[in-house]
Amino acid sequence: MMYPHLFSPLTVGALTLRNRVVMAPMTRSRATDDDLVTDLHVEYYRQRANAGLIVTEGVHPSADGKGYNRTPGIYNEEQVAAWRAVTHAVHDEGGLIACQLMHCGRVGHANNKAAGTEFLAPSAIAAQAQIFTESGMQAMPTPRAMTLADIKAVMNDYARATQLCLDAGFDAIELHCASGYLPAQFLASGSNLRTDQYGGNLENRLRFVAELLTVMADIAGPDRIGLRISPGNPYNDHADENPLETYSALLKIADNLGLAWVHAIRMASTGIDSLALSKKNYGGTVIGSDSFDAPEADTFIGEGRTDAVSFGRAYISNPDLVARMQADAPLNPMDKKTIYAGTGTAGYTDYPTLEQND
């Protein structure tokens, strides 16, 4: 068999993956103004159900949690019904799908959010970065420092969103704790200057994420909860004085909770081997991410450096990625101009399969 390790089954918590190819979470900016997925999303995810597991684009658990334009939410029943059509389509193809919950916190711009929503963060420190809006790139605003009541309310938002994910038919839920979003903002010394129990020393900076994961695991079961991390990644002005120490401790929390997986983005530029770090501190399934091809993925799995591999850009332009890898066939090139192109099918659901190429 071509790439026998990559195409072997894998038990991940409560899930049994038919292969170790994971579709990575990717924002594609196709949701409606009401943060709804549409028939376009149904087809997009259905086409890619050949993955052992799909992890959706980031989905905000509240209106406040939105940061980017045209991203979907899961905080009301209409959104649940829309997502249910997606999960049914994936299941009908024999696939599994997890919802990635992503609260952006201080990351975003008012042009991307509903009127009356807030920017919430551990501390009132603006991210020194820009974000895309319909009016072009814009500086990010200064958020409001969260009170203890705000923290409790956001915990409740995540708890409700976790239950709504189950109601919508998702097989699991992944907490986005990377890329400078709200959970990572609590972890990082550069964005968390609190002096209460949620800030200051490492134990306190870990508290928000630890409590959040516990709440989510209590609802869905720890064997259906995953954690996305990217130690040392400076994206969205994410800065921590000691990411190796911070994420080693976070991974031990994930291990103690018995989470189903850790989804680790590798970035050589950080000087941190996130896969080795995950393997050292966490005993469950590790999903490696970023710039893998099939041969390297198979090698890493065979050597025990990761248990599965997620593919992002390759899945954008190759809906039948698994079949192409199994046949060692060439991949469709990706059109960068249509990654975030809006509501149409172009660059979203119109990439041809191998059969269509023939």
Distance CA 352, CA 358 (A): 10
Instruction: Say if residue 341's pLDDT is above 90.
Output: no
**135 is a domain residue:** yes
Residue linked to tokens 């389509």 = 89
**275 is a domain residue:** yes
Which residues in 66-112 belong to E strands, given as ranges? 97-101
**143 is a domain residue:** yes
**181 has catalytic annotation:** yes
Contact 290, 317 (CB under 8 A): no
3-state secondary structure at position 15: strand
DSSP 178: -
**127 is a domain residue:** yes
Residue 176, domain CATH? 3.20.20.70
Q: Which of 181, 198, 315, 348 is catalytic?
A: 181
Contact 55, 13 (CB under 8 A): no
| pLDDT tens, residue by residue, 56-115 | 999 999 999 999 999 999 999 999 999 999 999 999 999 999 999 999 999 999 999 999
Distance CA 223, CA 15 (A): 8
**4 is a domain residue:** no
pLDDT at 247: 98
pLDDT at 356: 87
Mode of pairing for the β-strands spanning 10-12 and 15-17: antiparallel
Q: Which residue range(s) make up the domain with 144?
A: 10-357
**331 is a domain residue:** yes
Number of domains in the chain: 1
Q: What is the mean pLDDT of the chain?
A: 97
Contact 31, 17 (CB under 8 A): no
Percent above pLDDT 70 for the chain: 100
Instruction: Say if residue 358's pLDDT is above 80.
Output: no
| pLDDT tens, residue by residue, 231-281 | 999 999 999 999 999 999 999 999 999 999 999 999 999 999 999 999 999
| pLDDT tens, residue by residue, 115-159 | 999 999 999 999 999 999 999 999 999 999 999 999 999 999 999
Distance CA 152, CA 267 (A): 33
**5 is a domain residue:** no
Contact 45, 132 (CB under 8 A): no
**1 is a domain residue:** no
